[in-house]
Structure 1
Amino acid sequence: MFTTLLVIATIHTAITLTVGACAGFGIGYLAGWPTVEQLRAELADAAWQLAHDPLTDLYNRSGLRTVHAALAASGPAQPIIAILLDLDGFKEINDEFGHDTGDDLLMEIADRLAPLTAAYGGSVARHSGDEYAAILPVRQHGIFDIGERIKAAIAEPIQLQGEAGPEAVVVTASIGIAIADSTEPLQAALHRADIAMYHAKAQGRNRHVLYASGMTMPDRASRRGPRLRDRRHSRGGVDAA
């Protein structure tokens, strides 16, 4: 008589183990046991999923921490740029166009940010919701240049599917930039970038601000910005955010 046992491996591979008994001694064999190549592929896939955002395929927070840790361990301390950006008025876009369209927008922004940050030798992550974080090496005259290029890339009109059909909408971002040492905890660097980002919001949004010593978080009232209808791409041009 044969009994079939289902064994679930820690990497979520289902293996059927069939155990038989015959003439007073046991005979067992494995059916469907994965090859070494399959195990390696599944482990690599599991590791990739742990480090990446499932919607945008960018790094997630954990993945960005891993990138930063590797940078910190790669050699002597070096200055880096920590960037945190938040899409202006994303909640209004979700409310008007729906969450599926909001997800499409997040993926489009990710597709714009990934090659841009890579061109500067850096990495970008979806930090949370409609926030993105990046770390890049410091290059001469590159701090404000990267801020301007990110702002410009995001502000390119995006086609969103509305009730009446496709509609071009300009999405802007508030960008905070901080200079940090590569051996400094990433969270500390991003916290300063976060403060600078909220100063960008307080100053009218659609801009980047470099963190300065002593800068503190602005009050909540000053973080409000224009609504979605003020950012629409009309036939006559793009309304400023």
Structure 2
Amino acid sequence: MFTTLAVIATIAVALAFGAWARHMIAETRRLSAALTDAAWQLAHDPLTGLLNRAGLSAAHTHLATTPQPIIVILIDLDGFKAVNDTHGHDTGDDLLVEIADRIEELADLHGGVAARLAGDEYAVLLPAHGHEPARTAEGFVAGIAAPTRLFVDGDLTVINVTASIGVALVDSTDGFTDTALHRADIAMYHAKQQRGTHRIYRPEMRMPRNTERYGLRRRDQRPADNDGQPGAEAAQ
């Protein structure tokens, strides 16, 4: 009798332990997936799937582990507000996603990474690797300017946008915001003077004193959408 009870007890304990172990494995997997998802969201833009500013900063830190020149490209769509006004904000978001896909494809082609910083502004970091900055920028200008076909109210519609692009060649040891982005930002301001073009940063270039590019832009001063990003309708 005692032996039988002991066997039953052992089996019961084994079954309970097995159930507990399976539960712990499932819970561990769930927590791991949740952590992975949370980490992804911290570093990525929810609309386009590109890196966000924090993710781009992390990518810059990774590039900086190897001393090398880096090409910084800052991209601002021209006349994006008109797309929202004409076709609606859903179409505006679709356009942002399509342009993001093109930028990411070009960045991958050059061995770099792409990000959406805010609204209709994107950025790319590329290891120089002998790439000629001006020719690289021309590729981005042309890729973005290619006609985009989107469904608007059920009808296939062709939408054309261009981009003003600022480019800076920096060292991997240069600061991310105060040097890398800042220089590309100055160059992009000069490109905006003739939209649909690019400009390469030169030391003599200056940002006008009344242009607060690292404060909140007008498009970023409205409440964020549910995804935590400035709404497409706020982009200029």
Which range, TM-score by smaller chain? 0.7 to 0.9
Q: Name the amino acid aligned to 1:95.
A: D
Q: Distance in 1 between matches of 2:154 and 2:38?
A: 41
Overall identity of the aligned pairs, in %: 53
Q: How big is the shift at 1:108? A: 0.1
- How has the CA–CA distance of structure 1 residues 164 and 190 changed in structure 2, closer, same or farther, with 3 Å as cutoff? same
Contact 1:198 1:218 in 2 (8 A): no
Alignment correspondent of 1:215: 205
| Partner deviation per Cα, 1:10-48 (whole Å, 9 max, x = no partner) | xxxxxxxxxxxxxxxxxxx9xx76522222121111101
Q: Deviations over 1:91-135 (max 9, x none)?
A: 111111111000000000011111110111110000110000111
Checking the alignment, whether the CA contact within 8 Å between 1:50 and 1:62 is kept in structure 2 is: yes
SS at match of 1:35: helix
Amino acid at match of 2:58: T
Find 1:140's aligned residue among 126, 130, 143: 130
The CA deviation at 1:219 is 8.1
Q: Name the aligned partner's letter for residue 85 of structure 1.
A: I
Please name the residue that 2:191 is paired with: 200
From 74, 79, 101, the equivalent of 1:111 is 101
TM-score by length of 2: 0.74
Which protein has greater RCO, CA pairs closer than 8 Å, 6+ apart?
2
Q: CA RMSD in A?
A: 2.3
The answer on 1:72 being equivalent to 2:64 is: yes
Q: Secondary structure at the match of 1:212?
A: coil
2:218 equivalent in structure 1: none
- Which structure has the highest strand share of the two? 1
Question: 1:137-162: per-residue Cα shift (whole Å, max 9, x none)?
Answer: 11325211210111111111012444
Alignment length, in residue pairs? 190
Q: In structure 1, what is the Cα distance between the partners aligned to 2:187 and 2:128?
A: 18
Q: Please give the alpha-carbon distance, in whole angstroms, between the structure 1 residues aligned to 2:201 and 2:56.
A: 21
Q: Point out the more displaced range, 59-68 or 157-166.
A: 157-166
TM-score, length-scaled by structure 1: 0.73
Partner of 2:181: 190
CA shift at 1:72, angstroms? Answer: 1.2
Mind listing any 5+ residue stretches in structure 2 that lack a counterpart? 1-19, 212-236
Instruction: Give the gaps of 5 or more residues in structure 1.
Output: 1-28, 222-241
Amino acid at match of 1:182: S
